[in-house]
Amino acid sequence: MENRYSRRVQYYETDKMGIVHHSNYIRIFEEARVDYLHKIGLDFAMVEGFGFLSPVLSVNCEYLHSLRFGDEFYTETRFVDFGVVKYRLCYKVYQAGTDILCARGESVHCFTDLNGKVVSVKRENKELYERFVKAANGK
Amino acid sequence: MENRYSRRVQYYETDKMGIVHHSNYIRIFEEARVDYLHKIGLDFAMVEGFGFLSPVLSVNCEYLHSLRFGDEFYTETRFVDFGVVKYRLCYKVYQAGTDILCARGESVHCFTDLNGKVVSVKRENKELYERFVKAANGK
Amino acid sequence: MENRYSRRVQYYETDKMGIVHHSNYIRIFEEARVDYLHKIGLDFAMVEGFGFLSPVLSVNCEYLHSLRFGDEFYTETRFVDFGVVKYRLCYKVYQAGTDILCARGESVHCFTDLNGKVVSVKRENKELYERFVKAANGK
Amino acid sequence: MENRYSRRVQYYETDKMGIVHHSNYIRIFEEARVDYLHKIGLDFAMVEGFGFLSPVLSVNCEYLHSLRFGDEFYTETRFVDFGVVKYRLCYKVYQAGTDILCARGESVHCFTDLNGKVVSVKRENKELYERFVKAANGK
Domains (range + CATH), chain B: 3-136 (3.10.129.10)
pLDDT at B93 over 80: yes
Is D99 among the catalytic positions? no
Option in C17, C30, C58 nearest B60 (CB):
C58
pLDDT at C116 over 90: no
Please tell me which residue, B71 or C2, carries the higher pLDDT value: B71
Please tell me which residue, A65 or C85, carries the higher pLDDT value: A65
B38 exposed, middle or buried (CB, 10 Å; 0-12, 13-18, 19+)? Answer: middle
Task: Kindly state whether D34 is in contact with chain B, defined as any CB-CB distance less than 8 angstroms.
Answer: yes
- The residue-averaged pLDDT of C46-68 equals 95
Task: Kindly state whether C95 is in contact with chain D, defined as any CB-CB distance less than 8 angstroms.
Answer: no
Chain D residue with minimum CA distance to C70: D16
Predicted pLDDT of residue C16: 94
CB pairs under 8 A between B and C: 51
Option in D11, D34, D44 nearest B34 (CB):
D11
Residues 53-72 of A with CB under 8 A from B: 68-69
Predicted pLDDT of residue A52: 94
pLDDT at C1 over 80: no
Q: Directed axis angle between helix D23-39 and helix A23-39, to 10°?
A: 170
Spatial distance between the Cα atoms of D95 and D8, rounded to a whole number of angstroms: 10
| Cβ-proximal residues to C135 (8 Å cutoff; 6+ apart), any chain | C1, C40, C42, C79, C82
Mutate which: B6, B7, B12, B42, vs D, most D CBs within 10 A:
B12
Predicted pLDDT of residue C85: 87
CB contact under 8 A, C44 and A12: no
Predicted pLDDT of residue A54: 93
Q: How many angstroms away from the CA of B130 is the closest CA of chain C?
A: 25
Spatial distance between the Cα atoms of A88 and A80, rounded to a whole number of angstroms: 5
- The residue-averaged pLDDT of D22-49 equals 94
- The residue-averaged pLDDT of D76-84 equals 94
Residue D86 contacts residue D110 (beta carbons within 8 Å): yes
Q: How many angstroms away from the CA of B15 is the closest CA of chain D?
A: 15
Predicted pLDDT of residue B1: 72
DSSP assignment of A50-91: TTEE--EEEEEEEE-S--BTT-EEEEEEEEEEE-SSEEEEEE
Which among A2, A23, A4 is positioned nearest to A99, based on CA atoms? A4
pLDDT in tens, B4-46: 999 999 999 999 999 999 999 999 999 999 999 999 999 888 9
pLDDT at C51 over 90: yes
Exactly one of C15, C43, C71, C81 is catalytic; name it. C15
| % chain D with pLDDT above 90 | 86
Q: How many angstroms away from the CA of C41 is the closest CA of chain A?
A: 13
Exactly one of A15, A35, A71, A99 is catalytic; name it. A15
Option in B26, B53, B57 nearest C26 (CB):
B26
DSSP assignment of chain B: --EEEEEEPPGGGB-TTSBB-THHHHHHHHHHHHHHHHHTT--HHHHHHTTEE--EEEEEEEE-S--BTT-EEEEEEEEEEE-SSEEEEEEEEEETTT--EEEEEEEEEE-EETTS-B--HHHH-HHHHHHHHHHHTT-
CB contact under 8 A, D12 and C23: yes
**Averaged pLDDT score across all residues of chain D:** 94
A62 exposed, middle or buried (CB, 10 Å; 0-12, 13-18, 19+)? Answer: middle
Task: Kindly state whether C15 is in contact with chain D, defined as any CB-CB distance less than 8 angstroms.
Answer: yes
CB contact under 8 A, B16 and A21: no
pLDDT at C113 over 90: yes
Option in B34, B44, B69 nearest D44 (CB):
B69
Spatial distance between the Cα atoms of B66 and D11, rounded to a whole number of angstroms: 24
Which among C126, C75, C66 is positioned nearest to C105, based on CA atoms? C75
CB pairs under 8 A between A and B: 28
Residue D32 contacts residue D75 (beta carbons within 8 Å): yes
pLDDT at B139 over 80: no
Name the band, by pLDDT with cuts 50, 70 and 90, for residue A1: confident
- The residue-averaged pLDDT of B84-103 equals 96
Predicted pLDDT of residue D85: 87
CB contact under 8 A, B30 and D43: no
Helix (H) or strand (E) run with residue C72 in it: strand C72-82
Predicted pLDDT of residue D1: 72
- Stated pTM of the model: 0.96
Show residues of chain C in contact with A44, CB under 8 Å: 11, 69-70
Spatial distance between the Cα atoms of B32 and B100, rounded to a whole number of angstroms: 18
Q: Which long-range contacts (CB under 8 A, 24 or more apart) does D85-89 make?
A: D85/D110, D85/D118, D85/D120, D86/D57, D86/D110, D87/D132, D87/D136, D89/D29, D89/D33, D89/D36
Spatial distance between the Cα atoms of C59 and C44, rounded to a whole number of angstroms: 19
Spatial distance between the Cα atoms of B128 and A88, rounded to a whole number of angstroms: 48
Secondary structure in 3-state letters for chain D: CCEEEEEECCHHHECCCCEECCHHHHHHHHHHHHHHHHHCCCCHHHHHHCCEECCEEEEEEEECCCCECCCEEEEEEEEEEECCCEEEEEEEEEECCCCCEEEEEEEEEECEECCCCECCHHHHCHHHHHHHHHHHCCC
Task: Kindly state whether D101 is in contact with chain A, defined as any CB-CB distance less than 8 angstroms.
Answer: no
Show residues of chain A in contact with B11, CB under 8 Å: 15-16, 21
Which among B133, B116, D55 is positioned nearest to C63, based on CA atoms? B116
Please tell me which residue, D64 or C137, carries the higher pLDDT value: D64
A126 exposed, middle or buried (CB, 10 Å; 0-12, 13-18, 19+)? Answer: exposed
Which among A6, A25, A130, A33 is positioned nearest to A88, based on CA atoms? A33
| % chain D with pLDDT above 70 | 99
Show residues of chain D in contact with C19, CB under 8 Å: 16
Residue C68 contacts residue C20 (beta carbons within 8 Å): yes
Name the band, by pLDDT with cuts 50, 70 and 90, for residue B138: confident
- The residue-averaged pLDDT of A20-46 equals 95
Name the band, by pLDDT with cuts 50, 70 and 90, for residue D59: very high
